[in-house]
Chains A and B, each alone.
Chain A
Amino acid sequence: MVEQVRKLLEKRVESAAELDNLRQSILGKRDTSRTCISVCGGTACRASGAEAVVDAFIDEIERRELQVQVELKETGCHGFCERGPLVVIEPRKIFYQRVTPEDVGEIIGETIVAGRVVERLLYADPVTGQKVTYEPDVPFYKKQTRNIFGANGAIDPTNIEDYIASGGYSALSKVLTGMKPREIIEEVKKSGLRGRGGGGFPTGRKWQSCLEAEADIKYVICNADEGDPGAYQDRSLLEGNPHSVLEGMVIGAYAIGSNRGYIYVRNEYPLAVKHARIAIEQAMDYGLLGENILGSGFDFTVTINKGGGAFVCGESSALMASLEGKIGEPKAKYIHMSEKGLWDSPSLLNNVKTWANVPLIINKGADWYSKIGTAGSKGTMIFSLVGNINNTGLVEVPMGITLREMIFDIGGGIPNGKKFKAVQTGGPSGGCIPEQYLDTPVDFDELTKLGSMMGSGGMIVMDEDTCMVDVAKYFIEFLKGESCGKCTPCREGINRMSEILNAITQGKGKPEDLETLEDLAGILSAGALCALGQTAANPVMSTLKYFRDEYITHIEQKKCPAGVCRELIQYSIDPEQCVGCLRCLRSCPTGAITGEKREPHTLNQGLCIKCGACYDVCKFNAVIRQ
């Protein structure tokens, strides 16, 4: 009797059957007719004030004494960050966007109590102006295939029972009760899953070499050291659905015979760290992690290791050096990490997204999985769509979707009626793809052919006002700051590239500079020690390939066609257009503009710091930028 009570208190699940029972009992306790208010608690929505919205909901629900009828849930990222904070009312999936705490009373009063939709909070199509009531009908979501990311909106990431109720850990119990390690690896191989961290290495092959490596100790590592500018999908996944990542890791560990795992996550992701930590604790409590998982005799523990914020630590060998407590520097990988990695033991390192794909493959089967995607790239990929785009956010699409569909159908096109210029994919190691390749299907191989790469799934959209030399300079400056400095090509080469690009954008470029840039790119790709250096020249090479004329204009005419490079532009006032409204004069921080009311103003070039404030405020197009 005492033993039974203790077991009940302990919540520990001892077998696959018990897990099923637990799932049924959680589902049984749920009142499906009960309204659920799901507030997006992703980092982007939090930044827009989602926490205040949650507090307002709690107060309002208490005030009206609706605790029994209404459930409030703060979930992970829903993806449509542009329109945050997002609120979805289940079970009808009424979709409210840009919700403020002031709107909460109305939502409760109208929608929850009276059953009416609050029209003004609905999403309106920017083109047609038509209002959309339900989440699945929003164009942003319509074209997506949210296999990995879909659960984010329905699960409270701090509650393991939510994950279990949605079928979570069933892949783990399937594996532990009926699959041999080799069968799991065969399944992963057959699915065609490739590493989602950037390299695109076939995941199954990596697992197999780790299984075949002979060693007493093997390690499993989750790489959550996402550092690409503009990319935040790993973060959102770990914040919104940490158990899916954990489940993938346990399956991987069982497949290769490892008992020890690490999640290497950036310290700058406090919410991801917190949710991963809660998930590990809860999984331990439920016997889904730790000793004798589901009564199978298999042990596996996971430790969180917080990274110090070095971009290079996303590189597997540098990450492992950092885990070992050494300086986070890469080393040569002539012997694979899967044979000799962390503390010289076989180590299986995969990206957050890769791990999250694993339970799906086990549950639905490799045949189902490999139907999604293209010949060489299977499954879905999560991209972060940012930059000059209407619908900023995280999108999950099947491999093979075209860039055009992604940017114009899902992303809603370019804001303010501007023209599309290029899209930068793959982070600092990727390249810029111009308009003529918009119909290219997005997968690992096609992007590489264009001189870019899939990378971790960053996608920065740029409009016609973007200077491509400036973009190349930005990424090179980023990499210059992040190069560890171990090998000569990367340390010296990137620095020299940055010197040259700075000179070009300041009007000091020389015609031979382009050849020097190409030479440096060759040295980097062939000579650098790790992937950071080997791919560092991609932003420069791809812009040189597709936008060479812009470089030449900068060098020969000392002009920046897009009007971005400060040293190459000049502001002046057109006396014909100027009505003398004093707006620019008041906005000028240096007093460079003088003039009387109702008389054309003049701009003193010697005092002008080219901040563009006058250009932005002028309503009469009288300020000219050249």
Chain B
Amino acid sequence: MAKVWIDGETTIEVEAADGVNAFNLTVDDRQIIVSAGQTILEAVQRVDGIGNIPALCNHPAVKPYGACRICTVEVSEDGGNRFKFVAACLYPVKEGLIVRTNTEKIRKLRKGIIELMLARCPNVKRIQELAEEYGVDKPRFVLGDQDCILCGLCVRACQEIMGKSAISLVNRGIYREVAAPFYAYELTEECIGCGDCAFVCPTGAIEMGDDGRPVLPRVKIPYAEVEAMMKKEAAATS
């Protein structure tokens, strides 16, 4: 018998039926039974009033990716002796797994990641809300002017849902950005204007334009050195 929370307050007693592939999970000291084959984030999101896991790069329509890292939780597979940090959106549920979603350590980690995001995208509402929730006042870094957090949802939606590849992630590190084929910012006929990318975008960086096609976020030269690099390039070509 196990206690299962069906909402914030009510619990019901369930017997794990034979032949049903289900796991017992402990989430923030509460017992739940979840079906196998899902991730921690999926399992926890299906039970009301349990856990506190924010997520930005995750969307039920596409495969999990694990890029934003703010869904990081602590898990223990050995009954609580050793905990490790894992991304809830990717970690599969297992029998007897102990999950902590909101400890001091996790809040500190999420706060740090949100500070980095806010420094990159100080004007994005969703990030500002998270910053307020996790107590980030003002990032300690030089502020950028981006809207895109590079979660890759738009690219994955285009590929996985539509079967198109009208946009993709190009370049690496901080030079990474979302662009059309051949590193163009203008979309080609590969884009059918379905608007999926704009729909899944958690920050509103992609909006639908007047021509019925999405407008991609442009790199707005957020970092001093990118500016310096471009100046250098311009000087070299002139």
Chain A residues within CB distance 8 Å of chain B: 310, 312, 327, 331-332, 334-335, 480-489, 491-496, 499, 512, 516, 519-520, 522-523, 526-529
Any A CB within 8 A of the CB of B218: no
Separation of A523 and B70 alpha carbons in the complex (Å): 11
**CB < 8 Å neighbour of A483 from B69, B87, B149, B173:** B173
Do residues B172 and A527 form an inter-chain contact, with CB atoms below 8 A?
no
The residues of A that contact B105 with a CB separation of less than 8 Å are: 526
- Taking a contact as CB atoms under 8 Å apart, the answer to whether B120 and A487 are in contact is no
Q: Which of A485, A486, A494, A527 lies in contact with B72, CB distance below 8 A?
A: A527
- Contact: B66 with A487, CB < 8 Å? yes
- B66 touches which one: A312, A480, A529 (CB < 8 A)? A529
Q: Is the CB of B66 within 8 A of A484?
A: no
- By a CB distance below 8 angstroms, the chain A residues around B174 are 480, 483, 485, 491-492, 495
Asked if B91 lies at the interface with its beta carbon under 8 angstroms from chain A, I say: yes
Partner of B116, one of A332, A481, A486, A488: A488
Q: Which A residues lie within 8 Å of B90 (CB)?
A: 332, 334
Is B112 a contact partner of A522 (Cβ separation < 8 A)?
yes
B81-109 vs A, CB cutoff 8 Å, 1 = contact: the mask equals: 00001110011100000000000010011
Query: Which residues of B have CB within 8 Å of A494?
Result: 173
Determine if B140 is an interface residue (Cβ-Cβ < 8 Å): yes
Chain A residues whose C-beta falls within 8 Å of the C-beta of B169 in the assembled complex:
327, 485
- Digitize B58-78: 1 where CB-to-A-CB distance is under 8 Å, 0 elsewhere: 000000011111101000000
With A523-B113, A526-B105 given, name 16 new contacts (CB 8 A).
A480-B174, A483-B172, A485-B172, A485-B176, A486-B65, A486-B67, A486-B152, A488-B70, A489-B69, A489-B116, A491-B150, A491-B174, A519-B112, A523-B109, A526-B109, A527-B85
Using A484-B172, A485-B174, A526-B109 as known contacts, say yes or no to A496 and B116 having CB atoms under 8 A apart.
yes
Contact yes or no, A331 B116, CB < 8 A:
no
Alpha-carbon distance between A591 and B222 when the two chains are bound, in angstroms? 37
Of listed A335, A528, A529, residue having the most chain B CB within 10 A? A529
Interchain CB contact under 8 A, B112 and A523: yes
The CA of A169 and the CA of B112, in the complex, are separated in Å by 54
Q: Which residues of B contact A522 (CB under 8 A)?
A: 108-109, 112
Binary contact readout B147-171 vs A (1 if CB under 8 angstroms, 0 otherwise): 0011010000000000000000101
A526 CA to B72 CA, complexed, in Å: 9
Q: Are A488 and B119 in contact (CB under 8 A)?
A: no
Task: Provide the bound-state CA to CA distance between A528 and B113, in Å.
Answer: 10
Contact of A493 among B66, B85, B116, B152 (CB under 8 A): B116
Query: Do A527 and B112 have beta carbons less than 8 Å apart?
Result: yes
Do A529 and B87 touch (CB < 8 A)? yes
Is B72 a contact of A492 with CB atoms below 8 Å? no
B40 to chain A, nearest CB (A): 10
- When C-beta atoms are compared, the residue in chain B nearest to A512 turns out to be B140
Least distance between A508 CB and chain B CB atoms (Å): 12
Ordered by A's residue number, 25 sampled pairs between the chains whose C-beta atoms are within 8 Å are A331-B66, A332-B86, A332-B91, A334-B91, A334-B92, A483-B173, A485-B171, A485-B173, A485-B175, A487-B66, A488-B116, A488-B117, A488-B149, A489-B113, A491-B174, A495-B174, A495-B223, A496-B119, A499-B142, A523-B116, A526-B72, A526-B85, A526-B109, A527-B72, A527-B113
Bound CA span A523–B139, Å: 15
With A334-B86, A492-B116, A493-B116 already in contact, the answer to whether A487 and B69 are too (CB < 8 A) is: yes
Query: Which B residues are in CB contact (< 8 Å) with A483?
Result: 172-174
Q: Which residues of A contact B108 (CB under 8 A)?
A: 522
**Residues on the A chain within 8 Å of B171, using CB:** 485
B182 part of interface (Cβ distance < 8 Å):
no
Complex Cα spacing A310 to B176, Å: 14
Report the nearest B residue to A327, measured CB to CB: B169
B195 to chain A, nearest CB (A): 25
Quote the shortest CB–CB distance from A325 to chain B (angstroms).
Answer: 14
CA distance A370 to B134 in the complex (A): 51
B202 to chain A: closest CB distance in Å? 13
**Which residues of B lie under 8 Å from residue A334 when comparing CB positions?**
86, 90-92
Task: List B residues at the A interface (Cβ < 8 Å).
Answer: 65-70, 72, 85-87, 90-92, 105, 108-109, 112-113, 116-117, 119-120, 140-142, 149-150, 152, 169, 171-176, 223
Q: How far is the CA of A526 from the CA of B87 in the complex (A)?
A: 10
A519 to B91, CA, bound (A): 25
C-alpha gap A327/B169 in the complex (Å): 9
> Chain B residues near A492 (CB, 8 Å)?
116-117, 119-120, 174
Cβ of B140 and Cβ of A516 under 8 Å apart?
A: yes
Cα distance A523–B134 in the bound complex, in angstroms: 15
User: For the complex, what is the distance from the CA of A527 to the CA of B108, rounded to whole Å?
Assistant: 11
Q: Which of A482, A512, A520 contacts B112 (CB 8 A)?
A: A520
Query: What is the distance, in angstroms, from B90's C-beta to the closest C-beta of chain A?
Result: 4
Tell me which residues across on chain A come within 8 A of B72, comparing CB atoms: 526-527
Question: In the complex, which residues of chain A have a beta carbon less than 8 angstroms from the beta carbon of B70?
Answer: 488
> Please, which residue of chain B has its CB at the minimum distance from the CB of A335?
B92
Q: In the complex, A528→B67 CA distance in Å?
A: 9
In the complex the two chains form, is A529's CB within 8 Å of B67's CB? Answer: yes
Q: State the 6 A-B residue pairs at the shortest beta-carbon distance, nearest first.
A: A485-B176, A492-B116, A523-B112, A332-B90, A483-B173, A526-B85
B48 to chain A, nearest CB (A): 26
Residue pair A484, B173 in contact (C-beta under 8 Å): yes
CA distance A516 to B173 in the complex (A): 21
Complex CA–CA separation, A589 to B150 (angstroms)? 45
* Contacting residues, chain A, for B85 (C-beta < 8 A): 526-527
Q: B117 → chain A, closest Cβ, in Å?
A: 6
The answer for the CA separation of A494 and B85 in the assembled complex, in Å, is 19
Residue of B nearest to A498 (CB): B225
Contacts of B120 in A (CB 8 A): 492
Other-chain contact of B172, A310, A331, A335, A519 (Cβ < 8 Å): A310
Query: Which residues of chain A are within 8 angstroms of B87 by Cβ–Cβ distance?
Result: 332, 529
Would A485 and B150 count as touching, CB distance under 8 A? yes
Kindly identify which residue among A327, A335, A487, A493 contacts B68, using a CB–CB cutoff of 8 Å: A487
Residue of B nearest to A513 (CB): B140
Set of chain A residues within 8 Å of B142, measured between Cβ atoms = 499
**Which residue of the partner chain B has the closest CB to A510?**
B140
Q: How far is the CB of A414 from chain B (nearest CB, A)?
A: 35
Residues of A within 8 A of B152 (CB): 486
B-chain residues with CB within 8 Å of residue A493 when the two chains form the complex: 116
Residues of B contacting A489 in the complex (Cβ-Cβ under 8 angstroms): 69, 112-113, 116
Contact A495 B69, beta carbon cutoff 8 Å: no
B68 and A488 contacting across the interface, CB-CB below 8 Å: yes
Q: Give A334 to B140 CA distance when docked, in angstroms.
A: 33
In the bound complex, do residue B113 and residue A488 qualify as a contact, i.e. CB atoms below 8 Å apart?
yes
Residues of A within 8 A of B86 (CB): 332, 334
Q: Tell me whether A487 and B67 are in contact in the complex, defined as CB-CB below 8 angstroms, given that A310-B172, A335-B92, A482-B173 are known contacts.
A: yes
A87 to B119 CA separation, bound complex (whole angstroms): 58
Nearest CB in chain B to that of A496: its residue = B141
B contact residues around A516 at 8 Å (CB): 140
B113 / chain A contacts, CB cutoff of 8 Å: 488-489, 523, 527
Residues of B within 8 A of A528 (CB): 69
Tell which of B66, B117, B141 touches A332, judged by Cβ atoms closer than 8 Å: B66
CB distance from A610 to the nearest CB of B (A): 19
Please state if A495 and B173 are interface contacts (CB–CB under 8 Å).
yes
> How distant is A419 from chain B, measured CB to nearest CB, in Å?
35
Q: Closest residue to B176 on the A side, CB-wise? A: A485
CA distance A480 to B116 in the complex (A): 15
Most buried by B among A493, A494, A523: A523
Distance A480 CA – B175 CA, assembled complex (angstroms): 10
CA distance A480 to B174 in the complex (A): 8
The residue on B at minimum CB distance from A490 is B173
| A499–B140 alpha-carbon span in the complex (Å) | 11
